[in-house]
Amino acid sequence: MGENPGTFTVEDGSIKVAGPRSHLYYDGAVMNHDFKNFEFKAQVMTKPGSNSGIYFHTAFQEKGFPDKGFEVQVNNSHTDWKRSGGLYDIKDTREVYVKDDVWYTEYIRVEGKHVIVKINDQVVTDWTQPEDFVPAKNHLNRIIASGTFALQGHDPKSIVYYKDIMVRALK
């Protein structure tokens, strides 16, 4: 876990994210926490005005937002216009697919250089990293590669819940 570990607690069998910026990294034995091709699925619920994210192909860092990997946005009503299901700063969406205070399924599939993100079985993002892809200067390590997962605690005003998190490695 990165800075501010108290941001993540367990409440009624769910991971509650509430507090200062922090990231909860998967550091387990499955795939030696280094996933390339996978399916990820979680039940998510946002409270009004909240922002979070699910990082993939990332790596542990003690402070700050992860430099490596991609963030799938979890945000249905925060002031940041980039909404749930978008691939942050790569393929963003303004559309709101679910309301706050409702459990929904956020699904991510990465196979090769292809990323699909669904909310409740509706495709929100379908993106393939081009061969000539050049990451943004402020995100030089945002490329399809491999790595672990992280849940984001964005800010002290955001409250988000995650449960039933499942990952399946693909060949």
Query: What is the pTM assigned to this prediction?
Result: 0.96
Strands 70-74, 122-128: pairing is unpaired
Which CATH number characterizes residue 76's domain?
2.60.120.560
Work out the average pLDDT over 85-101.
97
Q: Are 49 and 163 in contact (CB under 8 A)?
A: no
Instruction: Give residue 92's identity as a one-letter amino acid code.
Output: D
Mean pLDDT value of segment 65-72: 96
Task: Judge residue 140's burial from the number of C-beta atoms within 10 Å of its C-beta, 0-12 exposed, 13-18 middle, 19 or more buried.
Answer: exposed
Mean pLDDT is lowest, of 50-59, 63-72, 133-142, 162-171, for: 133-142
Determine contact, residues 161/42, Cβ cutoff 8 Å. Answer: no
The pLDDT assigned to 21 comes to 96
pLDDT at 138: 86
- Give me the DSSP letters along 28-83: SSGGGG-BSSEEEEEEEEEPTT--EEEEEEE---SSSS-SBSEEEEE-SSSSSS--
Domain that holds residue 17: 5-169
Report the number of distinct structural domains present in the chain.
1
